Structure 1
């Protein structure tokens, strides 16, 4: 294209046009060249546009892949964080489970096995070791002297029995014993004899009692009158009650297997008694005890203060539950497949208790669902949980220890009152204890505020508060039930009576490993209920076994429990 320049001249305006050459265009061209050039430019633009679009799509795809990978990495990170949190929580629970011992949980002393710390000669050293392993007993010194305490049932020492047969033996030197003139020397040259030393032993005699029935023709009425065999004499040969009594004593009191009882009886009596016969003796004896258990239930249902507990035992290849209801005079055990309220309702003892009956137990929720009873909770369980809380939360261990010390002080004050014949604790002292109790609980609540949201942010369901916070809430919500023993001295501070009534069952399982069937466990409960009740009455259990076979046990049982005699 040319540029136009205008120049001024004297004669007027004259336009002068100057053409400047375009380097892209030829000086002379036609329209076809322009069309071709435009076409090439369009093709170039289209090619560049396609390349740009292709690169844009590739870039967009790459961005999508990176976003997807980032999302996957984020999910994987969240999953790893969740897994780490779960493993951390699991590790905490396992550590807490591993740190449990009889001093801070409900585990029995036998659960420690060989891990129980040794007791050294130096008492202080042994206490240090026990404290280091968190196994120090919760018992405190009472200031009593060593050995048997006043009122103990064990007399100690040797009690010489009255002999049925006496043998006298003389002992000489080896030279005199081999001399043929020993008898003559004894008559003529006996110098002296030393003080007598007695040795007591026993021997089992097998006695056969022959039973015969006689028939007499009465001269008055002319009728033939025949005698009858005693009850239990049903065959030509049978074992007597003495062998039955010894079988029961070895099986139940000695916790011995049927096979070993058979070996002992066969050796000492010379009878080839069968294992099945011993089992039959146990089954028939359990049925006799079942009748006595009705008297025990009648007594317990009428009491105002009782205790309850439960434990698991293996029978017939699966877990069974043994429930107990007891007091200072009686114990009743019964097995059931269910542990909770369903099992208790099938047994029907707790629901049959009178309104206002005080039931001492642990904090198991099933005992709180009965409206006819008043709950009193075991102090020993709470002390062990406080020890566990102090170990779990070392920063607040002092507060838990203060609460434990306070509970022990209340219990000590209560026992002092009972020992002095006082029926109730001083009102001012009890009020002081309660105010200290409330103060410690308030401080603990401030140290451990309630959990209001879950770590994962979910809101469905009840939010778990953790063991420590739950323990504090339990002390706050059940204060009256926990301290009820301080207001009514008829209530025991602990549930030890119930736990002791179940201890023999755990020992039996440790020896036998399991019961072969459910009926065997049921029979055990009948017999152990009777034996434990008789033991509480300070009556010899083996003597009571004899009374059961004599048919006098029901009268003795009702007399021990203070029940009216049945007519």
Structure 2
């Protein structure tokens, strides 16, 4: 920690210098209080940074619903129902004699009074299938040998089902390797080491690499694409996981850098002609081949903070405008058409009026005479500047029904790797992080398309990977 600067001797300062010192101290105090007042509901800070203190739910934008708790009217529920053909039966016959007259009962004439069924899984145990090849010699002396299939390559080896289960537990369900090995032993009686699980993950990555590459190509040509990034600890260092996603596709990539170098290296976002939805992070604006759309959920949180700090009316007005536009756009989308031109023009006019009102209340600060450099601007001014510069990107969702209101698709994709890191602590190696990204890209994509993640892994390890739908 650097040494603290010596304190100024107040007795040697003029009244003007004392006033400037007091103003500077108050400015620093305001900045510290503002930073302490930020949380996940009024800024881009993650919920994990809020700590254990009870949240102030009065600032939530979700509001109280008028719906009752539980299933809603018209909701198609599901419950356990009897099957016509049970796997097995267990009979409980009546006694062999009457308990009143003690006569023998004709049990062969007994009829079923009631049926009850229990759904359960059988006690699991591993099986060992021995594969054999044969040799035979013809009368002419020619020897003929049968051959093993390509999948049977070792004297002793594990099959695709148990390997798929091990990879699913570590990459799909996020379990640490030691706990996954323990669970496999308790379920099946098969003793598998964490090192073996690690080898299976590497095999799955190779088996799914072609599928992940296909997903990346499909995302590059997607008309609307959501992107996000988040930090992860890899090999004791900070790395960055980049996400590209749509409602049907998900792709993960790891890189040592967060900025445009990583974006260019991954190759999905550059030279796209569609719409890119993001959180207004600077490097995304370097991608100027297509159109941009901003995540309005981020902006709504920042508007909450601006309202708390300034006490002005324009943040609440902008919040109401965006939420009303979201509601009307969603209703129009359900009817199969975008908002009409008149509604779009009305929203744009009100939007400009709100921004203009905020700019009048939060003008840019000027440096005192003789001072050089830029003056630090308030958070409210910077937020308004963003609303002014990127109005088209913020309101794109009301004109284009294919553009979502927020970047929620990409943010949901980010959660699973964060869960993996929270459970396991970190990725020990870069190769392990790359394996996770490739496998998770395929699992999340094919899960969105209705496939079982366990079946995806089983088929990939059996040499028959499932291809994602175009």
**What TM-score comes out, normalization by structure 1 length?**
0.73
Instruction: For 2:379 and 2:244, locate their aligned partners in 1 and report how far apart those are by CA, in whole Å.
Output: 29
Instruction: For 1:90 and 1:198, locate their aligned partners in 2 and report how far apart those are by CA, in whole Å.
Output: 70
Instruction: For 1:161 and 1:105, locate their aligned partners in 2 and report how far apart those are by CA, in whole Å.
Output: 52
1:404 aligns with 2:324: no
Structure 2 match to 1:507: 419
Q: 1:326: Cα distance to partner?
A: 1.4
Query: Structure 1's 334 and 200: CA in aligned 2 closer, same or farther, altered over 3 A?
Result: same
Deviation digits for residues 367-403 of structure 1 (CA, Å, limit 9, x no counterpart): 0012212111111111111111001111x1x221011
Select the residue among 324, 329, 333 that pairs with 1:418.
333
Structure with greater helix share of residues? 1
Structure 1 match to 2:3: none
Select the residue among 183, 194, 214 that pairs with 2:134.
214
CA contact (8 A) 1:311 1:502 kept: yes
Secondary structure of the 1:306 match is strand
Number of residue pairs matched by the alignment? 458
Give 1:193-272 correspondences, 5 Å limit.
195-202=114-121, 203-217=123-137, 223-272=142-191
Query: Structure 1's 261 and 146: CA in aligned 2 closer, same or farther, altered over 3 A?
Result: closer
* 5+ residue gaps, structure 2: 1-7
CA contact (8 A) 2:82 2:117 kept: no
Query: Structure 1's 415 and 443: CA in aligned 2 closer, same or farther, altered over 3 A?
Result: same
Instruction: For 2:267 and 2:425, locate their aligned partners in 1 and report how far apart those are by CA, in whole Å.
Output: 29
CA contact (8 A) 2:230 2:414 kept: yes
Q: 1:234: Cα distance to partner?
A: 3.2
Q: 1:230: Cα distance to partner?
A: 2.7
Structure 2 match to 1:518: 430
Structure 2 match to 1:498: 410
Structure 2 match to 1:438: 352
Instruction: For 1:230 and 1:139, locate their aligned partners in 2 and report how far apart those are by CA, in whole Å.
Output: 61
Give 1:332-351 correspondences, 5 Å limit.
332-351=251-270
CA contact (8 A) 1:103 1:138 kept: no
Select the residue among 414, 439, 456 that pairs with 1:544.
456
Secondary structure of the 1:328 match is coil
Select the residue among 353, 359, 363 that pairs with 2:276.
359
Q: 1:98: Cα distance to partner?
A: 2.7
Query: Structure 1's 167 and 279: CA in aligned 2 closer, same or farther, altered over 3 A?
Result: farther
1:304 aligns with 2:223: yes
Select the residue among 26, 43, 48 that pairs with 1:105.
43
Secondary structure of the 1:435 match is helix
Structure 1 match to 2:57: 130
Q: 1:475: Cα distance to partner?
A: 0.6
Structure 2 match to 1:74: 12
1:390 aligns with 2:314: no
Instruction: For 1:95 and 1:186, locate their aligned partners in 2 and report how far apart those are by CA, in whole Å.
Output: 91
Deviation digits for residues 199-253 of structure 1 (CA, Å, limit 9, x no counterpart): 222221321110112223456x864332332334333222211211111221122
Q: 1:314: Cα distance to partner?
A: 0.9
CA contact (8 A) 2:151 2:462 kept: no
Structure 1 match to 2:294: 377
Structure 2 match to 1:147: 71
Query: Structure 1's 236 and 427: CA in aligned 2 closer, same or farther, altered over 3 A?
Result: same
Give 1:479-498 correspondences, 5 Å limit.
479-498=391-410
Give 1:77-92 correspondences, 5 Å limit.
88-92=26-30
Q: 1:406: Cα distance to partner?
A: 0.5
Query: Structure 1's 514 and 303: CA in aligned 2 closer, same or farther, altered over 3 A?
Result: same
Secondary structure of the 2:133 match is coil
Instruction: For 2:242 and 2:87, locate their aligned partners in 1 and report how far apart those are by CA, in whole Å.
Output: 48
Instruction: For 1:111 and 1:139, locate their aligned partners in 2 and report how far apart those are by CA, in whole Å.
Output: 23
Instruction: For 1:187 and 1:196, locate their aligned partners in 2 and report how far apart those are by CA, in whole Å.
Output: 25
| Aligned-residue RMSD, C-alpha | 3.4
Secondary structure of the 1:413 match is helix
Instruction: For 2:113 and 2:103, locate their aligned partners in 1 and report how far apart those are by CA, in whole Å.
Output: 14
Secondary structure of the 1:502 match is helix
* 5+ residue gaps, structure 1: 1-69, 118-128, 563-567
Instruction: For 2:464 and 2:374, locate their aligned partners in 1 and report how far apart those are by CA, in whole Å.
Output: 58
Query: Structure 1's 526 and 77: CA in aligned 2 closer, same or farther, altered over 3 A?
Result: farther
Deviation digits for residues 336-387 of structure 1 (CA, Å, limit 9, x no counterpart): 0100112212222211x33x32101011111001221211111111111111
Select the residue among 245, 248, 271 that pairs with 1:326.
245
Structure 1 match to 2:467: 557
Q: 1:107: Cα distance to partner?
A: 3.2
Instruction: For 2:49 and 2:91, locate their aligned partners in 1 and report how far apart those are by CA, in whole Å.
Output: 51
Deviation digits for residues 16-61 of structure 1 (CA, Å, limit 9, x no counterpart): xxxxxxxxxxxxxxxxxxxxxxxxxxxxxxxxxxxxxxxxxxxxxx
Q: 1:254: Cα distance to partner?
A: 2.1
Secondary structure of the 2:52 match is helix
